[in-house]
């Protein structure tokens, strides 16, 4: 266990924002997995999942939006590094009883910094896309639980959010 005191990596010694300098780091294989949840009322969920209706279109649109967002993360989050992503995957699990959609995003790169922000951005944008496409049936859709669940690579190695 490390005795070092945690710090905010994007603040310099004077407390001013700074982009983390990763120039001296060695590129390593890095993976991050994030999740998010979208909950809606029974009517909206029924419309989304009704055969021949919108499930495929909504989820495929959300998947494409998520991939595009992960690729543009550095344009959305001011101090993120621009990374060459080798993979972005987005999967959905439907919970009919709870009228809930679980979103899971996996991002990979071989670079000097991790892809946690890209994975969480992908989940967030997928959830917002589902909201946008379903809001006519339920304006009270809830997006929650956006979180990192796994990361590997780099100095800190493997981490799991159990």
Q: Is residue 3 part of a domain?
A: no
Our answer to whether residue 13 is catalytic in this structure is no
Average confidence (pLDDT) over 31-51? 95
Number of domains in the chain: 1
Which range is least confidently modeled, 12-26, 33-47, 120-134, 141-155? Answer: 12-26
User: Rounded to an integer, what distance in angstroms lies between the CA atom of residue 39 and that of residue 49?
Assistant: 13
Residues 6+ apart with CB under 8 A from 33: 104, 105, 106, 107, 119, 148, 149, 150, 151
The pLDDT of residue 8: 65
Q: Which of 3, 21, 132, 162 is catalytic?
A: 132
Residue 1: which pLDDT band, with cuts at 50, 70 and 90? Answer: very low
Measured CA to CA, the distance from residue 5 to residue 22 in angstroms comes to: 20
Is position 61 within any domain? yes
Q: What is the dihedral of CA 92, 96, 98, 104, to 10 degrees?
A: -10
Instruction: Kindly report which listed range (14-23, 67-76, 77-86, 153-162) carries the lowest average pLDDT score.
Output: 14-23
Question: Mean per-residue pLDDT for 110-128?
Answer: 95
- What distance in Å separates the CA atoms of residue 153 and residue 32, rounded to the nearest whole number? 9
Kindly state whether residue 15 falls inside one of the protein's structural domains: no
Q: Residue 13 domain-assigned?
A: no
Are the C-beta atoms of residues 66 and 122 closer than 8 Å to each other?
A: yes
Q: Is the dihedral of CA 55, 136, 131, 144 positive or negative?
A: negative
In-domain check, residue 46: yes
CATH assignment at residue 114: 3.30.70.640
Q: Is residue 115 part of a domain?
A: yes
């Amino acid at each position: 266990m490390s005795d070092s005191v945690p710090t905010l990596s994007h603040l310099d010694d004077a407390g001013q924002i700074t982009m983390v300098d990763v120039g001296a780091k060695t590129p390593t294989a890095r993976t991050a997995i994030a999740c998010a949840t979208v909950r809606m009322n029974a009517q909206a969920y029924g419309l989304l999942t009704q055969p021949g209706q919108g499930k495929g279109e909504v989820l495929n649109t959300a998947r494409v939006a998520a991939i595009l967002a992960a690729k543009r993360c550095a344009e959305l989050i001011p101090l993120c590094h621009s990374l060459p992503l080798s993979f972005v995957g987005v999967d959905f699990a439907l919970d009919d009883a709870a009228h809930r959609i679980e979103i899971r995003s996996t991002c990979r790169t071989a670079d000097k910094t991790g892809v946690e922000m890209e994975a969480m951005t992908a989940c967030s944008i997928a959830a917002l896309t589902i909201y946008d496409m379903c809001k006519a049936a339920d304006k009270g859709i809830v997006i929650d639980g956006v979180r990192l669940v796994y990361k590997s690579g780099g100095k800190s190695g493997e981490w799991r959010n159990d």
